[in-house]
């Protein structure tokens, strides 16, 4: 469980980065929108908070009907509503891990909880941090109740809990072992990415998430930043072409480099079959996709029993410690020298020319009358940006710097490539994984357009487009036929981005 909780926290920091990289929603209800992602749109669509809970009306006592199972009847109760800063479809509101690198100040946003649930969990031996996470889920009401599942033995099945768990759609989901298959262990679900037009792109991003999870666990990476900055990153990710123009809060460098080198030496002595937690990849609409490339599952890790505390490694090729590409990369950093694996050039790619557009700036014009997304419980239209942290541990970076690295920062993709060099892997599999990483690296560097940018280009260059933000049925039909073509080719459009 400890490993799964640590992975949950680290991937939560990456959620806005991956949302920006996979942006593919520039069109809503027949209009080009001024956003590239749909996370906030869905958040508004399923936001069940009352005006009082949103902070739009005073908190006053309310009389509610409460069901009493002992008398099989209802009775009146007085209850004062609470402020709930976020929709039930939003970024996470608390970190879970008790890892040594975690600090309490990282949980710097409001976390409303059900105090009775928290007290009961702690009385049963659940640690305070996990108890608060679960108690936070219980501030919501169930959305769906199935008659045939209403009366169950909660000591043997968890359907009632899963009813609430599965309708709290956060960027990450922490999943206990199912009672029917406890051997699956504790799992984390990465939910931030958007579905891509082609199978190739979907496979690339799914494999990358599994791969980077192995890197995080193997090297014990510390990517923590305050949750207020993670929320700020989520809003940045929605902006048009944020993958090129946006600046995201991130750790300044791979922390604890010397400790990471020692960790590498330790895990290279591990035997094949060392247990490891599992990560699943889900799109923002719940459609899951998992990599099916032969050889990847055996290389990247295994499921483990929920009672096992894991070292976080997977099956490694027995290489000389001194010759390990990953050791050279990290060792070079610890000596304040350039990495052995040279990062991509830090000079920005030739920036695409910005062109004018008639994209609507008002979501209400699309018929999407929804409350603005919230940051720290405040409307995004009025919330000020988080004050820059005085800490030198994190700063604002481009996605190119985060993913590909720079002269002062080790990118995630160079780390992933070096990690792959330590694994025994079929040449065909390695070649395929390299093409996946090339796609992500090129998109991060601004050499290849995101799906949202490519779609926007297609619409605005279509002969029927009238420069009025409207996407006619004919334009939509032609766009879908183009997507179908790339899917059949098992490829993706290598189109340079154009800034609008």
Asked whether 245 and 352 are in contact (CB, 8 A), the reply is no
Nearest residue to 62 (alpha-carbon basis) of 40, 79, 41, 82:
79
Please check the confidence at residue 31 and state whether its pLDDT lies above 70: yes
Residue 310 confidence (pLDDT): 41
What is the spatial distance between Cα 340 and Cα 325, in angstroms, rounded to a whole number? Answer: 8
CATH number of the domain that 401 lies in?
3.30.590
Q: By percentage, how much of the chain surpasses pLDDT 90?
A: 41
In a domain, 328, yes or no: no
Out of 109-118, 133-142, 173-182, 334-343, least confident range = 334-343
What is the spatial distance between Cα 417 and Cα 373, in angstroms, rounded to a whole number? Answer: 36
Asked whether 199 and 215 are in contact (CB, 8 A), the reply is no
Residue 435 confidence (pLDDT): 95
Please check the confidence at residue 301 and state whether its pLDDT lies above 90: no
Q: What's the mean pLDDT in 352-356?
A: 46
Question: How many folded domains does the chain comprise?
Answer: 1
Please check the confidence at residue 376 and state whether its pLDDT lies above 90: no
In a domain, 495, yes or no: no
Please check the confidence at residue 298 and state whether its pLDDT lies above 50: no
In a domain, 349, yes or no: no
Averaged pLDDT score across all residues of the chain: 77
In a domain, 157, yes or no: yes
Per the structure, the complete domain to which residue 231 belongs is given by: 1-49+82-268+393-489
Write out the E strands in 212-332: 248-251, 278-281
C-alpha gyration radius of the chain: 24
What is the spatial distance between Cα 437 and Cα 203, in angstroms, rounded to a whole number? Answer: 11
Q: For the chain, report the end-to-end CA distance as a whole number of angstroms.
A: 45
Please check the confidence at residue 368 and state whether its pLDDT lies above 80: no
Nearest residue to 54 (alpha-carbon basis) of 66, 67, 40, 44:
44
What is the spatial distance between Cα 73 and Cα 266, in angstroms, rounded to a whole number? Answer: 61
What residues does 32 pair with on adjacent strands? Answer: 27
What is the spatial distance between Cα 209 and Cα 213, in angstroms, rounded to a whole number? Answer: 6
Q: What's the mean pLDDT in 376-383?
A: 37
Out of 94-103, 169-178, 276-285, least confident range = 276-285
Sign, CA dihedral 12-17-19-21, equals negative
Please check the confidence at residue 439 and state whether its pLDDT lies above 50: yes
Q: What DSSP designation does 389 have?
A: P
Helix, strand, coil distribution of the chain in percent, nearest 5: 40, 10, 50
Q: What DSSP designation does 285 have?
A: T
Q: Band of the pLDDT at 393, cuts 50, 70, 90?
A: confident
Query: Coil, strand or helix: which one is 187?
Result: strand
For the chain, the farthest-separated pair of C-alpha atoms sits apart, in whole angstroms, at 73
**Chain segment 244-256, per-residue pLDDT in tens:** 999 999 998 654 3
Please check the confidence at residue 209 and state whether its pLDDT lies above 80: yes
Residue 372 confidence (pLDDT): 38
Residue 253 confidence (pLDDT): 66
Q: Band of the pLDDT at 373, cuts 50, 70, 90?
A: very low
Residue with the bigger pLDDT between 477 and 423: it is 477
What is the spatial distance between Cα 316 and Cα 424, in angstroms, rounded to a whole number? Answer: 7
In a domain, 54, yes or no: no
Q: What's the mean pLDDT in 472-492?
A: 90
Asked whether 91 and 110 are in contact (CB, 8 A), the reply is no
Backbone angles phi, psi at 63, to 5 degrees: -95, 120
Dihedral angle, C-alpha 326, 330, 331, 332, nearest 10 °:
110
In a domain, 289, yes or no: no
In a domain, 314, yes or no: no
Residue 119 confidence (pLDDT): 94
Asked whether 231 and 376 are in contact (CB, 8 A), the reply is yes
Please check the confidence at residue 382 and state whether its pLDDT lies above 60: no
What residues does 64 pair with on adjacent strands? Answer: 77
In a domain, 340, yes or no: no
């Amino acid at each position: 469980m400890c490993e799964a909780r640590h992975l949950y926290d680290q991937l939560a920091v990456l959620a806005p980065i991956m949302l920006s990289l996979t942006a593919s929603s520039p069109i809503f209800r027949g209009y080009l929108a001024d956003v590239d992602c749909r996370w906030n749109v869905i958040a508004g669509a399923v936001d069940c908070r009352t005006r009082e809970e949103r902070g739009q009306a005073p908190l006053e006592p309310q009389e509610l009907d409460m069901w009493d199972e002992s008398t099989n009847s209802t009775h009146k109760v007085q209850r004062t509503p609470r402020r709930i800063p976020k929709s039930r479809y939003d970024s996470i509101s608390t970190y879970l891990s008790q890892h040594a690198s975690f600090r309490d100040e990282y949980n710097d946003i409001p976390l409303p909880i059900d105090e009775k649930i928290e007290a009961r969990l702690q009385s049963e031996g659940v640690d305070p941090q996990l108890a608060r996470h679960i108690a936070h889920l219980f501030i919501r009401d169930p959305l769906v109740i199935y008659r045939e599942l209403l009366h169950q033995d909660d000591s043997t099945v968890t359907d009632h809990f899963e009813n609430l768990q599965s309708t709290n759609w956060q960027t990450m989901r922490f999943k206990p072992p199912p009672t029917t298959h406890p051997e699956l262990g504790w799992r984390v679900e990465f939910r931030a990415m958007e579905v891509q037009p082609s199978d190739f792109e979907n496979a690339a991003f799914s494999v990358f998430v599994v791969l980077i999870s192995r890197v995080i666990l193997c090297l014990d990476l510390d990517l923590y930043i305050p949750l207020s900055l993670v929320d700020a990153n989520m809003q940045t990710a929605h902006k048009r072409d944020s993958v090129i123009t946006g600046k995201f809060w991130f750790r300044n460098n791979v922390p604890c480099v010397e400790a990471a080198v020692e960790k590498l030496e330790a895990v290279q002595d591990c035997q094949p079959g060392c247990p490891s937690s599992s990560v699943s990849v889900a799109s923002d609409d719940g459609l899951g996709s998992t990599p099916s490339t032969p050889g990847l599952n055996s290389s990247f890790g295994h499921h483990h029993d929920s009672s096992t505390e894991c070292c976080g490694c997977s099956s490694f090729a027995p290489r000389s410690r001194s010759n390990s590409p990953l050791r050279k990369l990290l060792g070079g950093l610890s000596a304040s020298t350039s990495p052995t694996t040279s990062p991509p050039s830090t000079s920005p790619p030739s920036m695409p020319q910005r062109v004018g557009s008639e994209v609507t700036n008002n979501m209400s014009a699309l018929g999407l009358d929804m409350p603005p997304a919230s940051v720290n419980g405040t409307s995004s239209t009025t919330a000020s940006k988080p004050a820059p942290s005085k800490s030198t541990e994190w700063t604002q970076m481009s996605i190119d710097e985060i993913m590909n690295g720079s002269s002062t920062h080790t990118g995630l993709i160079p780390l992933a490539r070096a990690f792959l060099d330590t694994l025994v892997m079929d040449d065909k599999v390695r070649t395929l994984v390299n093409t996946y990483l090339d796609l992500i690296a090129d998109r991060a560097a601004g050499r290849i357009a995101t799906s949202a940018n490519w779609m926007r280009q297609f619409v605005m260059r279509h002969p029927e487009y009238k420069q009025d933000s409207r996407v006619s049925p004919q334009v939509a039909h032609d766009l879908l036929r183009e997507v179908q073509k790339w899917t059949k080719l098992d490829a993706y459009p290598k189109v340079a981005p154009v800034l609008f």
